[in-house]
């Protein structure tokens, strides 16, 4: 193997150039101090503010055994959270919760092995190295001179930690398959329903589509719902939903304060109408309008002609119009209702066996006709993408890919700038006034290094806004797959931008002159020396995540503030009014969903930091073990007490996360192998190849069947479960109409 020659000199910019040991210790003192203070505050406030810290206990549909547990003794919630078993969490918080906690536990187990490796790596790096004045840099691979025999320890540590990781992943997959199949066998409508894309025109009616699937699975079709465009109906339902709170508020004013509210109609008119009378008339009219429109839509859906793109129905007699004028605008009563059938539908079967057959069978001779997908729960359907034409979806996928790549390229600029902030010497050269400020107040040197990790966290918080928009173009029909797509993009961004760009940007910024004069030698020095020493920067970043993100998650500061604003500013004359969101402000009694994509993406970044630096800067393993442990502790208690498990996806993000973990391991191994090669390890670097190739082969092995097995139920399980349920009188027809558009499921409402 050709050896890469690297000049044997000190790091390009030692000392304060990068985030040094003093800055890391300051980060620890600040952010872990903040986290500790917030934990103590949470411990004090939890029994006193149970509606804030145990909202599931007070929401009837979310009550469970875990949510009602009281931890009266000071700090008893910590051992209480530790004692929560996976089975308890699975039963009360769902598979998403257990899968995430086990990912964190996986990270802890890997980090602990990294801590074991650190026992021999730390003294070797310190006493076999040369240069580096910084205390933390002395304990990194970058401290070793080129060609040092001490790099054999790095090789051994790599084999230990990565082999252990692959073993844990394989073992976790066995657990996941068992729980995933248990989840998929539940008697929920989503497990018995199949979503069908690109339905041919001659099958776009309930009747025709039912006949088609009855031929495939005779007697097994329980319900068929072709998707409809009911935009006009949705507008009327939305209007009714906004009207009802106003009517309820008028009732409450009359009942509690004796005030009968008056309303000008139109707004600038001198004429006043009794608000209750007017709103009651509007509500009655809307109920009749919506009810008749739903009946017409169902009739159209059942027998829609194959060559008919839209059908118009008229409703309401003129007698109704004259009676309601001027309380109700004429256009609201006489407007025509237009329905258009979409090229998608939902098929509900009577047995799990028939559902699995439909999911795995080629249903049409044309590749992109009658394509089936697993179906989310009715409330989890993203209706905007249901029935998206195939061409539009393909274009959307391309546009989303192009936009993601473009954003990734342009995002490099702010990330590189943020990373360069940690290089104080470079900033002093570019901004001379900083030199005087630092001389006047030396502590500013260290404080400036704290800005970079915080700014990086802020940048990461902005990413989901853009990437979610891109994901919506891809045609996902469920919020779960939409979030999975967002997670994939976020994790990729975090690994590329947050890790690699920020890891080398600071050194590159400071070495621009050297790059122009000696580009190859400069790059080699940056990779061989500065990259291992960048662990300090990422340790500070992890401390920021623990102190701010995790600490604020535990203390629930944002929900507390929004709930207070809602209480002070919003209508609150009755319990029903108080429990309803107002202008985006949610009360504590409103169920809370966890934003999993960003959270799991951050954990993937943690794995990347752990894998790369566990052997190059072993102190990182101790930090990451602490990070994974605290995250698991906090989110276990949050899942049990706070978050709504109603939209549990069955751990869909877990399989994607495992792919990213293995990919992180592959990238980390390649990085370590490259650094060893640049540091003139002629034997050690090639000996990393078997581990590198073995990890890729292990990944390929899992891709053969494991991920497929996680997508479908085994045939034997289907047969056994179906027999048991049919013997108990199970009837899937109780789910008729569950997959109609939301507006078609809301016939009547009252205040």
Q: Are 707 and 178 in contact (CB under 8 A)?
A: no
pLDDT in tens, 215-266: 999 999 999 999 999 888 989 999 998 888 888 888 888 888 877 877 766 6
pLDDT confidence of residue 324: 42
pLDDT in tens, 265-316: 665 566 677 888 888 888 999 999 999 999 888 888 887 644 444 444 443 4
Same domain flag for 594 and 633: yes
pTM above 0.85, yes or no: yes
Q: For 389-439, where are the E strands, in sequence order?
A: none
Q: Are 665 and 168 in contact (CB under 8 A)?
A: no
Calculate mean pLDDT across residues 356-361.
95
Same domain flag for 203 and 352: yes
Establish if 654 belongs to a structural domain.
yes
Predicted confidence band at 709 (pLDDT cuts at 50, 70, 90)? very high
Q: Are 34 and 446 in contact (CB under 8 A)?
A: no
pLDDT confidence of residue 136: 72
Task: State what percent of residues in the chain have pLDDT above 70.
Answer: 82
Same domain flag for 54 and 113: yes
- Please, what is the Cα angle at 288 between 282 and 293, to 5 degrees? 120
pLDDT confidence of residue 525: 61
Same domain flag for 227 and 119: no
pLDDT confidence of residue 336: 45
State the chain's mean pLDDT as an integer. Answer: 84
Q: Bridge-partner residues for 274, per DSSP?
A: 262
pLDDT in tens, 117-142: 999 999 998 888 676 556 777 777 87
pLDDT in tens, 394-424: 999 999 999 999 998 888 888 777 766 666 6
Calculate mean pLDDT across residues 372-401.
93
The answer, yes or no, to whether residue 379 has pLDDT greater than 60, is yes
pLDDT confidence of residue 608: 94
Establish if 126 belongs to a structural domain.
yes
Establish if 387 belongs to a structural domain.
no
pLDDT confidence of residue 4: 41
Same domain flag for 248 and 273: yes
How far apart are alpha carbons 221 and 528 in whole angstroms? 64
pLDDT in tens, 84-106: 999 999 999 999 999 999 999 99
pLDDT confidence of residue 359: 95
pLDDT confidence of residue 730: 92
Crossing angle (nearest 10°) for helices 619-641 and 535-544: 20
Terminal C-alpha separation, the chain: 79
Same domain flag for 370 and 437: no
Number of domains composing the chain:
2
pLDDT confidence of residue 500: 74
Establish if 9 belongs to a structural domain.
no
Among 312, 342, 376, where does a domain finish?
376
CA neighbor of 86 nearest in space, from 73, 100, 72: 100
Residues sharing a CB contact under 8 Å with residue 586, sequence separation 6 or more, in sequence order: 559, 562, 563, 566, 592
- In which domain, by residue range, is 339 found? 193-376
Among 376, 408, 431, where does a domain finish?
376
Same domain flag for 341 and 411: no
Same domain flag for 417 and 351: no
Helix, strand, coil percent content, the chain, rounded in steps of 5: 70, 5, 25
pLDDT in tens, 144-199: 788 788 889 999 999 999 999 999 999 999 999 999 999 999 999 999 999 999 99
Establish if 140 belongs to a structural domain.
yes
Which helix (H) or strand (E) segment holds residue 509: the answer is helix 502-510
3-class secondary structure per residue, 350-376:
CCHHHHHHHHHCCCCCCCCCCEEEECC
pLDDT confidence of residue 503: 66
Calculate mean pLDDT across residues 456-482.
89
pLDDT confidence of residue 320: 46
pLDDT confidence of residue 629: 97
Same domain flag for 197 and 179: no
pLDDT confidence of residue 14: 36
Instruction: Give 96-162 as a DSSP string.
Output: HHHHHHHHHHHHHHHHHHHHHHHHHHHHHHHHS-----STTGGGSGGGSPTT-TTHHHHHHHHHHHH
pLDDT confidence of residue 421: 67
pLDDT confidence of residue 431: 63
Q: For 213-266, where are the E strands, in sequence order?
A: 221-229, 262-264
The b/e string for 296-316 (b: 16+ C-beta within 10 A; e otherwise) is bbbebbeebeeeeeebeeebb
Q: What is the DSSP letter of 382?
A: -
How far apart are alpha carbons 729 and 744 in whole angstroms? 29
The answer, yes or no, to whether residue 447 has pLDDT greater than 60, is yes
The answer, yes or no, to whether residue 46 has pLDDT greater than 80, is yes
How far apart are alpha carbons 742 and 234 in whole angstroms? 8
pLDDT confidence of residue 422: 60
Establish if 739 belongs to a structural domain.
no
Same domain flag for 168 and 293: no
pLDDT confidence of residue 23: 75
pLDDT confidence of residue 522: 58
How far apart are alpha carbons 50 and 55 in whole angstroms? 7
Establish if 143 belongs to a structural domain.
yes
Establish if 742 belongs to a structural domain.
no
Tokens matching residue 270: 């001198």
pLDDT confidence of residue 690: 96
The answer, yes or no, to whether residue 3 has pLDDT greater than 50, is no
Query: Is the Cα dihedral 642, 646, 650, 652 positive or negative?
Result: negative
pLDDT confidence of residue 526: 59
Tokens matching residue 20: 């040094």
Burial of 433 (0-12, 13-18, 19+ CB in 10 A): exposed
Same domain flag for 488 and 415: yes
Same domain flag for 128 and 224: no
The answer, yes or no, to whether residue 667 has pLDDT greater than 70, is yes
pLDDT confidence of residue 306: 45
């Amino acid at each position: 193997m050709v050896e890469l020659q690297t000049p044997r000199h000190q790091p390009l910019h030692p000392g304060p150039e990068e985030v040094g040991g003093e800055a890391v210790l300051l980060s620890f003192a600040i952010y872990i101090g903040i986290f500790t203070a917030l934990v103590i505050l949470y411990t004090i406030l939890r029994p006193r503010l149970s509606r804030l810290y145990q909202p599931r206990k007070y929401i009837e549909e979310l009550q469970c055994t875990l949510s009602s547990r009281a931890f009266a003794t000071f700090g008893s919630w910590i051992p209480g959270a530790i004692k929560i078993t996976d089975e308890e969490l699975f039963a009360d918080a769902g598979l998403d919760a257990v899968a995430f906690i086990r990912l964190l536990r996986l990270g802890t187990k890997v980090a602990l092995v990294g801590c074991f490796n650190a026992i021999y790596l730390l003294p070797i790096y310190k006493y076999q190295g040369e240069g580096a004045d910084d205390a933390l840099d002395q304990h990194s691979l970058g401290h070793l001179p080129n060609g040092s025999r001490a790099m054999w320890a790095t090789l051994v540590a790599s084999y230990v930690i990565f082999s252990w990781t692959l073993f844990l992943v394989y073992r976790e997959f066995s657990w996941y398959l068992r729980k995933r199949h248990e989840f998929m066998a539940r008697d929920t409508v989503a497990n018995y329903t199949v979503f069908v894309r690109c339905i041919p025109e001659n099958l776009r009616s309930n009747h025709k589509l039912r006949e088609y699937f009855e031929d495939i699975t005779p007697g097994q079709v329980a319900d068929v719902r072709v998707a409809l465009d009911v935009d006009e109906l949705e507008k009327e339902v939305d209007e009714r939903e906004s009207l009802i709170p106003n009517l309820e508020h008028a009732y409450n004013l009359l009942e509690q304060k004796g005030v009968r509210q008056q309303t000008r109609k139109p707004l600038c008119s001198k004429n006043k109408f009794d608000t209750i009378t007017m709103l009651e008339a509007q509500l009655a009219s809307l109920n009749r309008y919506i009810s008749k429109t739903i009946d017409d839509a169902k009739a159209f859906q059942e027998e829609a002609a194959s060559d008919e793109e839209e059908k118009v129905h008229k409703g309401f007699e003129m007698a109704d119009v004259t009676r309601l004028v001027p309380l109700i605008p004429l256009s609201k009563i006489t407007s025509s209702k237009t329905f258009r059938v979409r090229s998608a539908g939902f098929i509900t079967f009577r047995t799990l066996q028939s559902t699995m057959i439909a999911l795995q069978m080629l249903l049409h001779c044309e590749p992109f006709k009658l394509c089936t997908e697993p179906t989310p729960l009715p409330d989890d359907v993203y209706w905007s993408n249901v029935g998206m034409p195939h061409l539009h979806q393909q274009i959307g996928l391309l546009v989303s890919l192009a936009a993601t790549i473009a954003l990734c390229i342009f995002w490099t600029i702010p990330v590189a700038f943020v990373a360069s902030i940690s290089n104080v010497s470079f900033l002093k050269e570019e901004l001379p006034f900083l030199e005087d400020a630092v001389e006047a107040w030396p502590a500013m040197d260290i404080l400036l290094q704290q800005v970079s990790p915080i700014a990086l966290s802020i940048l990461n918080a902005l990413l989901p806004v853009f990437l979610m928009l891109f994901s919506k173009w891809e045609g996902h029909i469920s919020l779960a797959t939409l979030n999975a797509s967002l997670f994939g993009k976020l994790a990729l961004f975090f690994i590329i931008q947050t890790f690699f760009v920020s890891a080398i940007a600071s050194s590159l910024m400071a070495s621009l002159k050297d790059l122009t004069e000696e580009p190859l030698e400069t790059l080699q020095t940056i990779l061989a020396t500065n990259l291992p020493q960048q662990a300090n920067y990422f340790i500070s970043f992890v401390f920021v995540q623990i102190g701010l993100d995790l600490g604020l998650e535990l203390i629930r500061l944002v929900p507390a503030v929004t709930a207070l604003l809602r209480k002070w500013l919003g209508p609150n004359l009755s319990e029903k009014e108080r429990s309803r969101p107002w202008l985006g402000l949610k009360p504590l009694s409103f169920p809370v969903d966890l934003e999993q994509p960003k959270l799991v993406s951050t954990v993937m970044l943690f794995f990347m930091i752990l894998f790369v630096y566990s052997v190059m800067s072993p102190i990182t393993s101790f930090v990451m073990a602490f990070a994974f442990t605290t995250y698991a502790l906090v989110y276990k208690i949050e899942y049990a007490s706070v978050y709504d498990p109603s939209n549990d996806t069955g751990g869909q993000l877990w399989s994607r996360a495992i792919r990213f973990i293995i990919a992180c391991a592959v990238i980390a191994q390649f990085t370590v192998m490259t650094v060893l090669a640049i540091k003139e390890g002629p034997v050690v670097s090639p000996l990393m190849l078997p581990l590198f190739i073995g990890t890729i082969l292990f990944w390929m092995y899992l891709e053969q069947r494991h991920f497929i097995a996680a997508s479908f139920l085994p045939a034997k399980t289907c047969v056994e479960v179906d027999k048991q349920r049919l013997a108990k009188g199970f009837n899937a027809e109780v789910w008729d109409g569950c997959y109609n558009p939301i507006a078609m499921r809301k016939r009547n409402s009252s205040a």
